[in-house]
Amino acid sequence: MSLTIRPWSKGAKVFFNGKLVDPHQYQSVPLPLNAPHELIVELPGFKKYVKEFTVTSAEVASKKAYSIEIQAEPEIYGRLTLKTTPTSDVIYINGEEWGKRTPVQEEKLPLGTYMIRAVNEILQMEKTFSVTILENKSVTIDERLEIKK
């Protein structure tokens, strides 16, 4: 059994059972069953993520890899609500795929200015725009996607 580590944001540090793992490439690390494990993710501007867990053989049955979904919690944040017409199936923030699609409701983001690109691959439409997230403020963006040039 293995734990798959997927690419993480730049500046992240990922530790599995006390050992630093390269978070910038797909990687599988051995995951012994029925034993305690610890996963730690440190990312500047976000709260430290710590998960202690044990994976049993009954949980994984015939699976070859085990997944854990991590939601990074900003230390200081604002909120973003994002809607597009038509809906976007891919959103990029500062050039990195965000893993979300529109509509997005009250998503916590660290403070700062972001370049957002919302894309609808099927219709070949997109829109790029800037948004500034301020402490304890909510920002609502409603954009119309345009045909790719």
Q: How far apart are CA 29 and CA 142, in angstroms?
A: 41
Q: Report how far Cα 41 is from the mean position of its chain's Cα atoms.
A: 12
Residues 6+ apart with CB under 8 A from 149: none
> How much is the pLDDT for 120?
97
What predicted TM-score, i.e. pTM, was given to this entire model?
0.59
Residues 6+ apart with CB under 8 A from 139: 78, 79, 80, 81, 131, 132, 133
**65: how many CB neighbours lie within 10 A of its CB?**
11
Q: How far apart are CA 136 and CA 111, in angstroms?
A: 9
Q: Which domains does the chain carry?
A: 2-66 (no CATH), 77-147 (2.60.40.1120)
pLDDT-flagged residues of the chain (< 50): none
> How much is the pLDDT for 47?
86
The pairing of strands 2-5 and 65-66 is parallel
3-class state of residue 10 by DSSP: coil
Q: Where are the alpha helices (DSSP H) in the chain?
A: 57-60
3-class state of residue 109 by DSSP: strand
> How much is the pLDDT for 6?
66
